[in-house]
Amino acid sequence: MKLIKVFISSVLNEFSVVRKALYEYLLSDPLLGKFFEPFIFESLPATDNNSKTVYLKEVELCDIYIGLLGVDYGFEDGEGISPTEMEFDHAIKYHKTKLIFINNHTNCERHPKEATFIKKAQELIVRKRFQFVDDLKASVYASLVRYLLDKEIIRTSPFDATLNSKVKLENIDAAKIKFFVRIAKSKRGFPLSEETDITTVLTHLNLMSSGHITNAAVLLFGNSPQNFFINSEIRCAHFHGTEVAKPIPSYQVYKGDVFQLVNQSIDFVLSKLDFSIGSREKSVQVPTNYEIPREIVAEAIVNAVAHRDYTSSASIQVMLFRDRLEIWNPGSLPFGWDTKKLRIPHSSVPANPLLAEPMYLSGYIERLGTGTIDMIRIAHKCGLKEPEFIQEDDFRVIIYRTEQATGQATGQATGQVNEFVTRIILVLEDEMKRAEIMKALKLSHRENFINNYLEPTIKKGLIEQKYPKSQNHPNQKYRLTKAGLKIKKELL
């Protein structure tokens, strides 16, 4: 099949990094790379770099013109026209499909001619705004997929971008979206407010179009995603030995939206790892340490959720053995990649871009493809064996535990409490709020914390509430009882 030519136009200096990142993304994405052939000015031989006729000819040859507009107008010819605007006009003349993406600046920050150019573009075609390169990737991804559908080049869209006719707006949890907007605004400067209606938020995130909702929206913000995608779950198991063997000491199947899946799975793993308490020498807050740092566990699980193949009937599996943690993901690396690439600086090519973008905005994902490199770096820093990445039928990550289990937080010192109760006793100082205790334990899932840590410790009479007659008191705090203080003294 003949590839669809995409001409990427922008002011050279302002968007040089963004333009190159978009070019590489279109080449390496598993879907887009099969259909599109991108072109950027830098790909011309050096002798042609100043030839106006050459790049205008490329516009004539392309099927799709992508224009990136920002602050600068660029070099002006004798008639006061920049190459970018000249290319845009040429695309109009030859009736090309035009996609315009405008960076997130105000008109007062722009060159006057650039502001005028943007106004002209807005009057002629649909345009979208972007702040970061991944915002741009997600929007370009959605636009090009819709181009393929409109031209009937493909009959079905990628899983995350597919509009699901069975999903109605009432299947989306407005409270989840409001919470997401609040977090995304604080972490990444998300431009919309909590008061924005959910259809506007979903449309902004490319999760809704013409009243129809995408699969990604269901996985991110659905009331019950498993009603639509039964395989969207994570199975967590803990084995005392080094092989899969029955009986399984601890086994959980987690369901919910992708954020809940991540939080529950991370907390499951952390609850089984050796745990230690540091000193206050460098901080007033008691430092807590898990034998495998939380950052490594979180990165591996988040990657599995964001990159998995949701069309597969298999589920993500998280298995903790005596010597290692394994995360199995029904998915594969981008076309042409091998696991060696994960150990060197590389671009970020998520298998589900419309799913990954909100996870980035809420702080679950970093942008620049540094996740696997960070896992290796942190493992080295902590004296752990380097993680392994294996691509077979599934993608697998192996993270090694410390060579000797310390058992520091098992509660064996007293024979009265389990590891969950022991940990909350060790971190509790004076009076602390629930969120402060969870932060000290590096836990994220509220229900898991309450069921496994907080309520059992209260029932044993080892901690008490400051306001026992008002369970939901806004200033509710927790403190150790005399019995709790005695056990803490024995543990320390």
User: Do residues 136 and 186 share a domain?
Assistant: no
Nearest to 163 by CA among 205, 212, 204, 210: 212
Half-sphere exposure (Cβ direction) of 430: Cα atoms closer than 13 Å = 4
Residue pair 102/118 in contact by the 8 Å Cβ criterion = yes
Residue 293, pLDDT score: 93
Tell me if 368 is assigned to some domain. yes
Residue 416, pLDDT score: 56
Specify the CATH number for the domain of residue 483. 1.10.10.10
**Total domain count for the chain?**
4
Per-residue pLDDT of the chain (492 residues), as tens digits, is 689 999 999 998 899 999 999 999 999 998 999 999 999 988 776 555 556 788 899 999 999 999 999 999 998 988 999 999 999 999 999 999 999 999 988 889 999 999 999 999 877 776 788 888 888 998 899 889 888 887 878 866 688 999 999 999 999 999 999 999 999 999 999 999 999 999 999 999 999 988 999 999 999 999 999 999 999 999 999 998 999 988 888 999 999 999 999 999 999 999 999 888 766 555 555 667 899 999 999 999 999 999 998 988 899 999 999 999 999 999 888 866 888 889 888 877 888 989 999 999 999 987 667 889 999 999 999 999 999 999 887 899 999 998 654 444 444 444 556 778 888 998 898 999 999 999 888 888 888 888 888 998 999 999 999 999 888 898 999 999 999 898 888 876
Tell me if 486 is assigned to some domain. yes
Tell me if 302 is assigned to some domain. yes
Specify the CATH number for the domain of residue 363. 3.30.565.60
Specify the CATH number for the domain of residue 42. 3.40.50.450
Tell me if 413 is assigned to some domain. no
Residue pair 63/99 in contact by the 8 Å Cβ criterion = no
User: Do residues 313 and 367 share a domain?
Assistant: yes
User: Do residues 450 and 472 share a domain?
Assistant: yes
Query: 400, 434, 453: which is the final residue of a domain?
Result: 400
User: Do residues 9 and 145 share a domain?
Assistant: yes
CA 107 → CA 10, 76, 115, 211, distances in Å? 17, 20, 6, 31
User: Do residues 343 and 244 share a domain?
Assistant: yes
- Say how far apart CA 463 and CA 422 lie, in whole Å: 11
User: Do residues 197 and 248 share a domain?
Assistant: no
Tell me if 38 is assigned to some domain. yes
Phi, psi of 282 (to 5 degrees): -110, -5
User: Do residues 74 and 129 share a domain?
Assistant: yes
Tell me if 341 is assigned to some domain. yes
Nearest to 444 by CA among 265, 314, 323, 244: 265
Residue 278, pLDDT score: 66
User: Do residues 14 and 39 share a domain?
Assistant: yes
User: Do residues 247 and 340 share a domain?
Assistant: yes
Query: 150, 183, 209: which is the final residue of a domain?
Result: 150
CA dihedral (31, 32, 37, 41) in degrees, to 10, reads -140
User: Do residues 363 and 445 share a domain?
Assistant: no
User: Do residues 367 and 477 share a domain?
Assistant: no
Task: Supply the range of the domain harboring residue 423.
Answer: 419-491
- The edge-to-edge listing of strands for the beta sheet with 163-164 is 163-164, 212-214, 208-209
User: Do residues 109 and 207 share a domain?
Assistant: no
Residue 410, pLDDT score: 41
